[in-house]
Structure 1
Amino acid sequence: MSVKTKKRNVTEIGGDTGEESILMTMVNNGEDLGPMVRLSFETGKPESLLQQLKNVVRKKEVEIEDLCKLHYEDFILAVDELRGVLVDAEELKGELASDNFKLQEVSTVLLLKLEELLESYSIMKNVTEAIKMSKNCVQVLDLCVKCNTHISEGRFYPALKAVDLIENFFLHNIPVKTLKILIEKRMPLIKMHIEKRVCSEVNEWLVHIRSAAKNIGQTAIGYTASARQRDEDMLARQRKAEEQSCLGLGDVTYTLNVEEIDEKSVLGALEHVSNSIVEAFLSDSVKRFNANAVMSINHDLKALESFADDRFQSTGLLAIYKDGSFRDCLIEARQLINLLLSSQPENFMNPVIRQRNYNALDYKKVATICDKFKDSPDRLFGSLSNRNSKQSAQKKSMDTLKKRLKDFN
């Protein structure tokens, strides 16, 4: 709507007198209309003022209406655009909600998978650490078992090597505190025990050597004297044979006599060795012995038996006495060693078995010797390894034999 139209409409409402112009100016400026109202009542023309005010009101209403008409179309367009924006906003809100829901679903699954993955990594790490710790413990325990075995079998040098490995390479890596403390406490005890055992065995060996020195010397002297006598007898017989050869006597008698002399001397030696072995076990100087000592004597006895077989064969007696042997001279020592090394020594009390395997042994001698046999296994790591069931069974059987021999005596 143009300004020209606005002026026309205002003029049509009422004349624009000077007083109305003043009044319009005062209203537009927000001035106080009190003096003018007072003047109109004093002059007796309030109606005129009222009419002028109404004209001003109508003019303002026309201006407001024109202003509203002027911005109405822009308002309608703005409202339409706002509605469009609201629709787009609702659509966008719906899309965002849908995308958020999908994202939540996907992220929830991924979060669960991530938690499972982290838990798996944690478990794998713990399992790896546990396996590493277990390997260290197994290696240490294996060395402890080997150390026990070496000590129980009298192999002290390998036992010390095992202790050295544990101390220098494994002790500081043991993850289990209780096991580490136990092994740390056992190390000095093991070394002290080995030292005592070695000193004890050396002392026993020295005692045995002192006790057997006399027998060894006598045996050596006997061998020397026998050899000298044999040589003298052989020379004498050789001279006699040479004299008899002139008369036509055969050489067979000479050969047989020489063989008989060699057989008297070998039997005088083997029987003496067998008796010496038994007497050594019975000697008051030997207070105690174990399986290691028995196995050592068994080794020497086997060598003597082999020597006896060779001598029996070299003298030609094997061709004459096919079922005979010089090792029969060692029968008492052999049966005693077999009894001490037997897994069931209590079978000695069985008459049938005793007659078959131990007929050369005397009850009282066996009782005295078995009472000195104390072969309890030394296991300083006893809490870390199982006991040897075979040794335990043999020990029980030996204890049973000792008791029955005491009752018998």
Structure 2
Amino acid sequence: MKVLHVIPSLSPKLGGPTHVVLNLVKALVKRGVEAEVATTNDDGADLLDVPLYQRTEYQDIPVWFLPRFSPPLKEFIFSSAITTWMWKNVRNYDVLDNHYLFSYAPTLAGFVARRQRIPYTVRTMGQLTPWALAQSRIKKQIYSTLIEHNTLTKAAAIHCTAKDESVDVRRFGIETPTATIPLGVDSPIAQPDAKPRLCSKYKISESRFVVLFLSRLHYKKRPDLLLQSVHQLVQNGKDLHLLMAGTGDENYISELQSLTKKLQLGNRVTFTGFVQGTDKDLLLQGSDVFVLPSFSENFGIAVAEALAAGLPVITTPGVQISPEITAAHAGLVVDGDKEQVSQAIQSLIDNPKLRQDLSRSGKQLAQQRYSWDAIAKQLAEVYKLIIQHRRLPHDVLF
């Protein structure tokens, strides 16, 4: 079974989407699936320093990188080279797995696959939530009418990562069968004495309660709301420190830094920049609570990583695994306003036992639901059904 994953970019700056594709393909390869990736050399405003026009091993998985048209057209990421490559090579695969909507490479892949009678799946990645569709609404309505509705309707299956995402698909008017399979997270490497080491690294008093935001710095994820919530808690006499871990648009980061200064939180907020590996594990194991107050997340990979590390989480209903978190008593799900986020953080500051209970339940949920190996096995089963029937015969929920 030979499967091609198509994604506009593998830039580390994209955060979750890149992390997911790399780990998903790696897990599929371990299970004996001949999985490869076709993408561009996009790296935001820059270009990845990678070999082009050849199959190369990139972070332990086989990838075909094609040159991106410069300058980038935001998320659309046009590439004439990938057009030529697709027409020549798509016929060599049994299934295509396309990641993203409203972007050139996966849209093209679906079109070519239909012409060459190769079945394909689509992972919508939260782009059909009401909030996401409201962004650049007119452009998306036109694009959907002309292109994307047909892409989704003629797909062999739509890969959803949470029940709410499959609801969004139906709300969009698509009746294509869905395969609801969660995403996975890496098991963290244990970091002894994590809290003292974290505080030493970032020059924080060990007595302070450490709040972690670990995600792309983007207005959708509402780091500004978290800053305002922390300010309110400090005004109420709480001794805490916020670690803002992640990268994003430079102008938006400057806005967040200006807000930090305006709120007089300069000595209580640290912008760490992009983190990975043991530095990331240290953040997840040394902090006291993880907060992601997003407007919208199709899954919330950073939330799942915090659960796996045993870090209590606070998130919002817009994160589509929030019903699973609530059902498992693995975190606090609150409305995305300053008062409720502040109250949730305060409840964890004041109640160590609650933190312990959430930590234990969060680890259990991650171990039971978010294993990359189990997810690769489930997805391989979906691929086999598609190859056998040319289309997923019915909705599948794992």
Under a length normalisation based on structure 1, what TM-score does the superposition of the two structures give?
0.20
> Which one has the bigger strand percentage?
2
> Which one has the bigger helix percentage?
1
